[in-house]
Amino acid sequence: MTKHLTTIDATTCGHACACGDASAEPLIGRRQFVAFGAVALAAAALAACSAGSDLTSPGTVSATSFKLSDFPTLGTVGGVTTTTVGGVPLAIVRTGTSSFSAFSRICPHQGSTINVTSSGFLCPNHGATFNASGQWVGGQRTSNLTSYPVAYDSAAGTLTVGS
């Protein structure tokens, strides 16, 4: 007896393949197919909620320039702003009068997007914490944040992140 993979939209033989084989036996029925699909969707949703996005930070980002004046929080030392370069969520920190750091905000643990706090960064997924230098300092054990070079042109008032 022939077995067919599809059973929905039955036509001639009761199968989507329209082979005309009246003796064909479906592998699974429509109700089984729908139930299996619902279970698969629920499992996928649960995995997405519990495991972060599984994104990883690229080793480099393309050099991208910004006007410093577009980020008022970087007007003072210790200020932090967030932006995106090439689809990578970043944090830029003013570390001195003419020095800046940039970090990926993709958590090195399982890829959630980390948030800025008063003392650094916090991952909302499992609680990894990082200081303002991007170093892991507590919570879920993981590595430091990926950092990217920042060039500051004081004459032009621009920051160039990446290389």
- What residues line the site for ligand FES (CB under 6 A)? 52, 107, 109-110, 112, 123, 125-126, 128, 140, 142
Q: How far is the CB of 139 from ligand FES (least distance, A)?
A: 6
How do the residues of the chain divide into helix, strand and coil, expressed in percent and rounded to 5?
15, 30, 50
Q: Is 100 helix (H, G, I), strand (E, B) or coil?
A: strand
* CB-nearer residue toward ligand FES: 56 or 69: 56
CB 54 within 8 A of CB 34: no
Q: How far is the CB of 127 from ligand FES (least distance, A)?
A: 6
Q: How far is the CB of 51 from ligand FES (least distance, A)?
A: 8
* CB-nearer residue toward ligand FES: 73 or 133: 133
Distances (CA, A) of 9 to 6, 12, 23: 8, 10, 17
Rounded Cα distance between 14 and 29, Å, is 11
* CB-nearer residue toward ligand FES: 10 or 51: 51
* CB-nearer residue toward ligand FES: 135 or 140: 140
Q: How far is the CB of 129 from ligand FES (least distance, A)?
A: 9
Picking from 96, 107, 95, 100, the residue whose alpha carbon sits closest to that of residue 146 is: 107
